[in-house]
Structure 1
Amino acid sequence: MHKLTSISENVPRTIRQTLLTKLQLSAKLREIRADFEAMVGIRLRLVGPTHQGLEIQTPCSDSALCQRVRGLQSGRVHCQRYTEALVANSGQEQLACGECDAGLTGFCVPLRISGETIGYLLAGGYRLGELDLCRTNRLRHLMGRLGIPDEAALLQEYENETIEITREKHAAMQRWLQLAADSLIRSLELRDDACERPLPTFVTKICSIIQQNYRNPPSLSEAARICGLSEGYFCRAFHEFTGLRFVEYIHAVRIEQVCELIQDDRASITEAAFDAGFQSISQFNRVFRKLRGVSPRDWRREQLVLSQ
């Protein structure tokens, strides 16, 4: 098992997760995904750290061969280990690329903010270069090890249905992906130096205070006074370094607390919302949908399905 590169806590978990969700819902990501699929015919995914850890269970490909391998528990374990290896090999700083035992290539591009990785662009399931005997034998060995039936059909799928990319096109694709990742981060409108510099002390300080007092957090003017800054400078700097407005961070912390509670389908969503500090259900529903992309009930339904 490859050991995943650790993610430090310089950037508070809530900021990382909220920015990742922003990117998931952004027009810029939709544009990048559409362009990438149009160019190479491969689906691009954005995955990242959550309160449950890395979403490494997300497959890197929808190819017929991948689906057949993942149809078995042993195959899912194999694919998860492969994705873990891509993440670990990226070192959180550079694009990593590798070939799995099924003869398919994948890549992982880290997205960095404040010197840390908040997520990864992930894709794979294509064949790099022409089909050769070495890849075919590796695939046969994998099938035997995992107990995958119907070898002839699977080998035919691998040969006829797998997207093949030349090495020249692959090198160009990697250069484009790095530019796309940089463009995606810039869409968050952070300061020019915010991607590599750690968060200022005043930001981490006020974030910690809000995490501990999310029901009755300090107002904007109180937060600026606590940090020894003018309200105008504090407001601008907080947004430029975190990608979030001050009130948006408070909302994100409260929504995170609600999500912890309502994963239990017996918990009342209304009670959880008021307990977190929201003043009305209409405000809560509006904020929840903005930050999670779905309604609270739909989010809980999705979580219950994923946990099964």
Structure 2
Amino acid sequence: MQTTTSQAHGRQRFIETLSESDLFQQYQRAFHTLTGLPLTLRAQGDMEFVETLVTHQSVSGVVETLVPVRVGKNPVALLQTGGVRLEPANAHTFAPLANALLDDDRSAQDVRTAQVHFQHVPVMEPERYEAALALLRSFALQLGESAHRLLFAHATHEPDAVRNAKVFIHAHLAEPMTLDAVASAVNVSPFHFCKIFKRATGLTFTDFVNRARVEKAKRMLMKPAARITEVAYDVGFQSLSHFNRSFRRIASESPTEYRGRMKDGHTPCLAVA
């Protein structure tokens, strides 16, 4: 139970850090200015399994949309927007809510009060709402990239040995690297290092190194002149096939697909301070 509670607190701190990032704050303001819609970032609930964009509509016609933010294949957060109706307020569109209230034995006064609130809910044209969701899909991709980087730095009560190991790993990515060598560099036994590193990062040593190498490769692939084979070896992979397998496993796409998606502008370009 204590471990579960600690993990929940860790997820919440991660979401708070991501929502306070310059990237999210800038996009949140721009999205609201452009569409008039609210935008929040929250954790996925224990009983929620949002794998793709989903829109819920209440009996009053108010829509709420959730867009998953992914790190690789795994949803790590949800973008939430909505709070509008896609049809104008009139007797026809209010009827389902009125009937639901009456079926629930609510009074005529309750129905009249609900109608007043109903008339004040903002209305948006369906085409405009769909355009706003298209923006969110693109932003979710970019925010996922930011979340991926944040996961490397996000840890609770991180021991000095783990922090120093991360510095060592990033400084020597291009070189062959073993757990024993890194443990020796931070002056702890391999057994103890393996234990505290997994506890602090949530990743095995090998997975962390591969993710760090893939993250560096992503930055290098943004340069049009960089050849994929050269990138693979420059970030420390010993073969192109290993690089391709690791990249696809971590990023859910091949290096070529990633480069093409970035080149085609499938993520919005926002300046981050």
User: If the length of structure 2 is used for normalisation, what is the TM-score?
Assistant: 0.51
Amino acid at match of 1:227: L
Q: State the 1:13 CA deviation.
A: 6.0
Which whole-Å CA distance do the structure 2 matches of 1:228 and 1:134 have between them?
71
Q: Are residues 1:152 and 2:112 paired?
A: yes
Q: Deviations over 1:259-295 (max 9, x none)?
A: xxxxxxxxxxxxxxxxxxxxxxxxxxxxxxxxxxxxx
What is residue 98 of structure 1 aligned with on the other side? Answer: 56
1:27 aligns with 2:22: yes
Pick closer, same or farther for the CA change 1:143–1:220 going to 2, 3 Å.
Answer: same
Cα drift, residue 35 of structure 1: 1.8
The question of whether the paired residues in 2 share the 8 Å contact of 1:43 and 1:123 is answered with yes
CA spacing shift, 1:184–1:155, aligned 2, 3 Å: same
Give the aligned residue type for 2:22: A
Q: Take 1:46 and 1:146, find their aligned partners in 2: how far apart are those partners? A: 36
2:130 aligned residue (157, 161, 171): 171
For residue 155 of structure 1, what is the amino acid of its counterpart? Answer: Q
Q: Looking at CA atoms only, which structure, 1 or 2, has the larger radius of gyration?
A: 2
Determine whether 1:227 maps to 2:179: yes
Q: Which amino acid aligns with 1:151?
A: V
Residue equivalent to 2:197:
none
Q: Where in structure 2 are the equivalents of 1:49-198 lying within 5 Å? A: 49=44, 53-54=45-46, 87-88=48-49, 91-92=50-51, 94-131=52-89, 133-144=91-102, 145=104, 147=106, 149-159=109-119, 161-188=120-147, 190=149
Q: 1:241 to 1:24 in 2, by over 3 A?
A: farther
Matching residue within 28, 36, 40 for 1:41: 36
Q: Is the 8 A contact 1:190 1:239 kept in 2?
A: no
CA distance in 1, matches of 2:106, 2:210: 54
The offset of 1:34, in angstroms, is: 1.2
**Distance in 2 between residues matched to 1:155 and 1:146, nearest whole Å:** 16
Cα gap change, 1:107 to 1:215, in 2 (>3 Å): closer
Contact 2:71 2:147 in 1 (8 A): no
Offset of residue 228 of structure 1: 4.6
Instruction: Quote how far apart the aligned CAs of 1:103 are.
Output: 1.6
Letter of the 2:14 partner, please give it: L
CA RMSD of aligned residues (A): 4.3
Post-superposition Cα deviations, 1:122-180, rounded to whole Å, max 9, x if no partner, equal: 12220113345553121113333274743223213312x21111111122111111112
Partner Cα separation in structure 2 for residue 219 and residue 114 of structure 1: 24
Give the Cα–Cα distance (whole angstroms) in 2 for the partners of residues 131 and 238 of structure 1: 54
Q: Distance in 1 between matches of 2:130 and 2:61?
A: 18
Residue identity matched to 1:103: G
Flag the 1:109–1:222 CA change in 2: closer, same or farther, 3 A. Answer: closer
SS of the residue corresponding to residue 164 of structure 1 reads coil
Distance 2:138 2:41 in 1: 15
Q: CA contact under 8 A between 2:55 and 2:63: conserved in structure 1? A: yes
Distance 1:41 1:241, change over 3 A: farther
Deviates more, 1:141-150 or 1:19-28: 141-150
Q: TM-score, normalised by structure 1?
A: 0.46
Rounded Cα–Cα distance in structure 1 between residues aligned with 2:98 and 2:9: 44
Deviation at 1:219, TM superposition (A): 4.5
Report the count of equivalent residues: 178
CA contact (8 A) 2:69 2:140 kept: yes
Q: Any unmatched runs of 5+ in structure 2?
A: 170-176, 187-204, 216-273
Moved more, 143-152 or 165-174: 143-152
SS at match of 1:43: coil
Question: 8 Å contact 1:102–1:142 — kept in the other structure?
Answer: no
The aligned counterpart of 1:266 is none
Counterparts in 2 of 1:105 and 1:226: CA distance versus 1, 3 Å: same
* % identical equivalent positions: 15
